[in-house]
Amino acid sequence: MELKIKQSDFMEALKWTQGIAERKSTMPVLSNVLLAADEKGLAVMATDLELSIRIQVPCQAKKNGEALVNAKGLFDIVREAPNKEIKLSGKKEAIEVTSGKSEFKVLGMPTSEFPAFPDNQNYEWVSFQGSGLLEMIDRTSYAVSTDETRYALNGVYLEKPADSETNGLRMVATDGHRLSYIDREVTKAFKLPEGVIVPRKGLSLIKKLAETADQGLKLGLGQKELIVVREPKDEADIGVTFYVRLIEGKFPKYQQVIPKNAKRLVTLPRKSLVGALRRADIMAQDRAHPVCFALSPGHLEISSSNPDLGEVKEELEAEYKGETFQVGFNARYFLDVLNVLADEQIVLVLGDELSPCIIRSEFDRGFLALIMPMRL
């Protein structure tokens, strides 16, 4: 292998691998990146067996070849390179990195030990705007469970909405105490008879990829992986392909917990509710952050108390015409939902003291959040 590459391009490619290549893995090969040079440029690959990434970087390749070297070590070398151009050459299980008058010899491992990547064949592909995918992740990821024993809840569920007559895609997340879903239209419907679960760790990198996707993304769905591709804008741009192994398991039948006949409807300014909840949460120092919602015609009172600190209550004007009623909720759960909405007004749909609260956007009918009540 022999090539010339821009320091900035090489740096960007290696930066993508740092969150995947495992520094303390029981399998040493997973601490490495595979470099593969050919007429298309330089491919930089890393994997932890659950997440894998391939970055295609433009370069001037004089000789094709491969090398497998430590990801963190190479990243540090390229970051400190004194010249804007880097020369790479490889012989057997080592590469030489030259930048200006600095020369590094980096020892590696046999390339045959690196795990094989999916071949990108036999996948269903749809195009997606980065901003659209980013919105779906933002509006659901906060509800993903962090309890590792409930592995089927450790990701977001992708499915085609049952009531969608067009090419809809739904993303759902729940941790058993709250739930959120969002529906969006895509260019072509995935064939998802039972849906698939994308793990939480993969979501953060997909989100990062969506944030940089000016030209949009391609999503490919297979039996075991979800592939997300950010294609290069031109010959001088970097392309990124991200592979996520799907979670094997049954996602709960979340539709069963969504109330169908809740009749108490409350509409009020989002910012007012956010402010009141933040102030009430100052006193709600318990791990469950309990606050009380007391409804009366035209008003919603938010209150909380703590035997060591004191108590707080605040009355908000709200559109509500039902009977007097009160129920307890986790303040942080409400704030998580309200912080991902930009609406001026939000709609709360309530049942009784034991029923969950549905939170809807004023305009986005494809979004729904649900929070279970708590005893105060």
Exposure string for 237-272, b = 16+ CB within 10 A, e = fewer: ebbbbbbbbbbeeebbeeeeeeeeebebebebebeb
**Helices 331-338 + 270-283 axis angle, to 10:** 150
The predicted pLDDT at position 29 comes to 94
Q: How far apart are CA 93 and CA 341, in angstroms?
A: 52
244 lies in the same domain as 201: yes
Model confidence at 164, pLDDT cuts 50, 70, 90, reads low
Mean pLDDT to the nearest integer, 129-146: 93
Q: How far apart are CA 169 and CA 162, in angstroms?
A: 10
107: phi then psi, degrees, rounded to nearest 5: -75, 150
19 lies in the same domain as 141: no
The predicted pLDDT at position 233 comes to 87
25 lies in the same domain as 60: yes
Q: How far apart are CA 231 and CA 237, in angstroms?
A: 9
Which residues sit opposite 51 in a β-bridge?
Answer: 244
Last residue of a domain, one of 113, 135, 169: 113
307: phi then psi, degrees, rounded to nearest 5: -60, -25
Model confidence at 327, pLDDT cuts 50, 70, 90, reads very high
Percent of the chain with pLDDT over 70: 99
Q: What is the CATH number of the domain that holds 237?
A: 3.10.150.10
Residue 119 lies in a domain: no
Q: Which domain holds residue 344?
A: 258-371
The predicted pLDDT at position 165 comes to 63
Q: Where are the alpha helices (DSSP H) in 18-129?
A: 71-79
66 lies in the same domain as 159: no
190 lies in the same domain as 238: yes
More confident of the two residues 25 and 79: 79
What pTM was estimated for this model as a whole?
A: 0.90
Q: How far apart are CA 235 and CA 351, in angstroms?
A: 57
Tokens for 374? 């708590």
The predicted pLDDT at position 279 comes to 95
Q: Position of tokens 């008003």? A: 299
218 lies in the same domain as 267: no
Q: What is the pLDDT of residues 268-295, one digit of tens each?
A: 999 999 999 999 999 987 788 999 999 9
82 lies in the same domain as 141: no
